[in-house]
Amino acid sequence: MVQNNADVIKAFNNEEEDIIPVSFWRHFADSEFIDALAHPEVIDLNVSGHKRYIHSINPDFVKTMTDGYFIDPSLRDRDPKSVDNLRIIQPLSEDHEWIQGQINLANNQKLAAGDKLTFYTLFSPLTILKWALIDHEKEDLFLADKRFADLYEKDSKAVEHALNVIGKDIQSVVKALSSSNIDGVYFSTQEIQDGRVKTFEFFKNVIEPVDTSIITEINKYFDINILHVCGFADATNHLEWFKNYQLQVINWSTHAENLSLKDGKKLFDGKPVLGGFGNELTDVLYSGTKDEIQSEAKRLVAETGRKGVIIGADCTVPRDTPEDHLHWVEEAVHEI
């Protein structure tokens, strides 16, 4: 294992590494979209899940899950599929329990992580809004992207207003987290998977400005942070559009985007990179043998090098990923 945080910080600072860090993460609630304000028991489940998992996996750093806080309360209070409702939503007060409760969650997750560097997950306003547009128990995830595009076609100003409001709420969460014990933020963003809004114009005029406002706030309070350009469920993104996002470490779906860690490091001007393993059920991390998994781990390091390289996955690993598989990656990488 990595012996101390100094070894991890070397990687995050884009320095040559004596030992290459490894970390994976997963959800602990049955559904990450449960409302923590209505079901506070999910917080105990979240924290206890992290505690057991960290003890078992012993990752070199911890990226936490915010199950229970995925949907902004402004989008739960009234139907967000109505542009009339989107026009009138307002930012939450800084003392709102959805904001303040995340300080408590972050501190308890940090207690579970102990001395390990700990990164708290936050999502982009577009992701939060699109997630609010479907029933996650009954409807397909990509229906959310279609509904988002439908709303934008119907009333772009209403959607942009809602995104800015959600963005202000996330900035308030960042400010609140500055009083917690976490070490940084893992900021997840993604293009909408619908051709009507999957354009450079939409990215520059809508996605980038609202994301940048949050990134500025993140960097105001935390020195080392991670950008995740999400390729969950085979979503794709124009990664080159995200090059101006000023976060320190970059994580993306090497498999969905067909872009290796090595080539991604070049694309992002040599910044530290995180990932390499696919997170689907058909990928080697989930379904491979020990020899297959360790061979892939060694191949990733041989291909990418050991300067600013952190081994992990494209995204969250499935809940039932055998923990031995994660240990096999750690063992192989740490022996290199």
Residue 300: inside a domain: no
Residue 292: inside a domain: no
Query: Band of the pLDDT at 2, cuts 50, 70, 90?
Result: low
DSSP 318: P
The two structure tokens encoding residue 282: 């058909």
What lies within 8 Å, CB to CB, of 295 at 6+ separation is none
DSSP string spanning 95-146?
T-HHHHHHHHHHHHHHHHHTTS-EEEEEE-HHHHHHHTTS-TTTS-HHHHHH
Give tens-digit pLDDT for 105-156: 999 999 999 999 999 999 999 999 999 999 998 999 899 999 999 999 999 9
Residue 1: inside a domain: no
Average pLDDT over residues 9-16: 96
Please tell me whether residue 55 adopts helix, strand or coil conformation. Answer: helix
From CA 35, how far away is CA 15, in angstroms rounded? 41
Q: Which domain, by its residues, includes 123?
A: 24-272
CATH code for the domain in which residue 222 is found: 3.20.20.210
What lies within 8 Å, CB to CB, of 252 at 6+ separation is 228, 229, 230, 231, 237, 239, 259, 264, 275, 314
Give tens-digit pLDDT for 262-287: 999 999 999 999 999 999 999 999 99
What domain count does the chain have? 1
Q: Is 60 exposed, middle or buried (0-12, 13-18, 19+ CB in 10 A)?
A: buried
Answer with the residue of higher pLDDT: 29 or 214.
Answer: 214
Give tens-digit pLDDT for 192-210: 999 999 999 999 999 999 9
Query: Band of the pLDDT at 30, cuts 50, 70, 90?
Result: confident
Tell whether the model's pLDDT for residue 232 goes beyond 90: no
H/E element holding 310? strand 309-313
Residue 218: inside a domain: yes
Residue 211: inside a domain: yes
Identify residue 165 by its one-letter amino acid code.
V
What is the phi/psi pair of residue 222, to 5°? -130, 140
Q: Are strands 226-229 and 118-123 parallel, antiparallel or unpaired?
A: unpaired
Residue 123: inside a domain: yes
Residue 45: inside a domain: yes
Residue 264: inside a domain: yes
Tell me the whole-structure pTM to 2 decimals.
0.97
DSSP 34: S
